[in-house]
Every structure is written in structure tokens, then in C-alpha cells.
Amino acid sequence: MKILIIEDEPLVAKDLERLIKGLDVTVEVLEILPSVAQGKEWFRTNPLPDIIFSDVRLSDGISFEIFESINLQCPIIFTTAYDEYAIRAFKLNSIDYLLKPVDKKELGLAFAKYKSLNVGGIVNEQLKSMLSKWTDSSTKKYKERFLTLHRNALVPVTTEETAYFRKDELIHVHTLSGEKYISEHQTLDEIEALVNPQIFFRVNRQHLVHRQAVGKIKTTHKGLTLELKGIPLLEVDMSREKATAFKEWIVS
């Protein structure tokens, strides 16, 4: 069985590869692709694998972009931290999903499902149906208000007030006016899945930034350094791998 992994976090990709090979020693992982751009290029020059394991959010966009123009005749198992709407879409169209961190038992059940699946045109039609539902902006609702904790009181904070989300020991919501609240969510992945990607950008593992908070942008030998507005001002670093996607996002 030949498998393709699309995942932008190297440690997550390697752990998934280890779990897959633990279930079936005959599996051949053809490639681990970290971006939309590399995914599109790979499909232009390579035959289809038997199964694709794909994260939803990659460093330069959404993995769905890879599959939109492909006559895909093989199943996809998505790995995701997405909200309930996305999960319903996956289940409705019989395209499986695994919530991160991937559980070995759930992975085994997904394998069993796809070994019994009659792949071919039906998979391609199911994928097209799922993509059309997902990309229909009228059905996708983004979270605009978060309930946070401050001094033993619950405080609602809107996305318009938010400068950025920051992961420390806890996830904190920082506002443009300088307030700092504790988020009810446990990970930045959860929050990233809930907010509008046209407004928020995941600049690194620690920061999810609102467009309005971006001030000066400096080029460095490692990538970019962003000056984030707020009280006080904050500088955060971004890798070269994310820099191109960020530059396109900030002017879109």
C-alpha cells in the first residue's frame, strides 16, 4: 500500500508515519509534503497513491486547494483539529477524519474502512461535494466572540478587539487596548479552526495574529519579524517557510 502524507509539522508527520507502519509493515510512505504548493507540484509529476493522509491547515493555505483541480481516484483521511461543522462535512461525504493527536485505534478503524471502500469515481464525486460545501462561505460561520477569564470573572471579547492569541503555559487573548485574558480553549489549533483565516494568521507555534494588529514588517535572515500593535508593542518572528503565504495574506 502506497501512502502520501501532507503535513507541515515534521514531528507530527513522523509520528503519523510511525503509527501507520505499526499497523501495516508493508506500507510505503511515498513522500511527506509540508505545503499546498509542494502538494500541487507533486500531483503534477507523480501517479496517485493508494491513500492520502492530509492535514487541513498547512503553512501556506488549506489543503483542499491541492485537490480542487485533481481528478482524484483515491481516498483521503484528513487529520484535523477543526470544529463540528467540518467534522459533519467529512462524515456526510464518507471521507474519514482523525482528530489530532491521532489515536492508534482510530487510525486502525480508518484503515479498515478504506480497505473495504470501492474507490474510483465515487471518491472523486464525494470529494467534490465536500469541497463545494466547505468553500460555500454562506454556510461557514466563524467565531466572532470568545468567553475569557479575568480575575475570577468571565469576560466576552470580540475578534475586533483582539490583537493576537498567544500560547504561554495557557492560551491568552491580548487586545489592542492592552488587556490580557485567559482563553477557555486549550490550544491555538482549536482557536485557529474557529476564526476567519482572512482575518487571522498563524505566524508561528505561539502566535495567532489579527490583521489589524500587524504593524511594521522586517526582513531577517530567518524570515520575517512582525511588530504587533498593542500595549506594549511586541515583536514576533516568522520562518521563511511561512513568509510568502503571509505576504500574500496581508495584502489580500
List pLDDT tens digits, range 93-140: 335 667 777 888 888 887 777 766 655 544 555 555 555 555 554 455
100 and 213 together in one domain: no
Dihedral of the alpha carbons of 155, 141, 7, 108, in degrees to the nearest 10: 100
> What b/e string do you get for 51-87 counting C-beta neighbours within 10 Å, with b at 16 or more?
bbbbbbbbbbbebbbbbeeeebebbbbbbbbbeeebe
Amino acid 87: pLDDT: 53
131 and 152 together in one domain: no
Asked if residue 232 has a cis previous peptide bond (ω within 30° of 0), the answer is yes
How far is Cα 158 from Cα 146, in angstroms, rounded to an integer? 6
183 and 218 together in one domain: yes
23 and 127 together in one domain: yes
Averaged over 41-62, what is the pLDDT? 86
41 and 127 together in one domain: yes
End-to-end CA distance of the chain: 41
117 and 167 together in one domain: no
Q: Of 84, 112, 135, which closes a domain?
A: 135
**Does position 78 have pLDDT exceeding 60, yes or no?**
yes
Amino acid 95: pLDDT: 56
Averaged over 76-84, what is the pLDDT? 69
127 and 151 together in one domain: no
Instruction: Report the domain count for the chain.
Output: 2
152 and 108 together in one domain: no
Amino acid 138: pLDDT: 47
200 and 124 together in one domain: no
10 and 111 together in one domain: yes
Residue 209 falls inside a structural domain:
yes
Domain extent, residue 218, equals 145-250
**Does position 209 have pLDDT exceeding 50, yes or no?**
yes
In this structure, the strands spanning 200-202 and 234-239 are unpaired
Mean pLDDT computed over every residue of the chain? 82
Helix, strand or coil for residue 57?
strand
Give the rounded percent of residues in the chain with a pLDDT score beyond 90. 38
Strand order through the sheet with 97-99: 28-33, 2-6, 51-55, 76-80, 97-99
In which band, very low, low, confident or very high, does the pLDDT at 85 lie, cut at 50, 70 and 90? Answer: very low
**Does position 13 have pLDDT exceeding 60, yes or no?**
yes
Report the DSSP beta bridge partners of residue 219: 224
185 and 100 together in one domain: no
Domain with 246 in it: what CATH number?
A: 2.40.50.1020
Amino acid 230: pLDDT: 76
Averaged over 134-154, what is the pLDDT? 76
Please, are residues 187 and 171 in contact by the beta-carbon 8 Å criterion?
yes
Element (H, E) at 88: helix 84-92
Amino acid 132: pLDDT: 58
Amino acid 94: pLDDT: 39
User: Lowest-confidence range among 126-135, 188-197, 240-249?
Assistant: 126-135
**Does position 196 have pLDDT exceeding 50, yes or no?**
yes
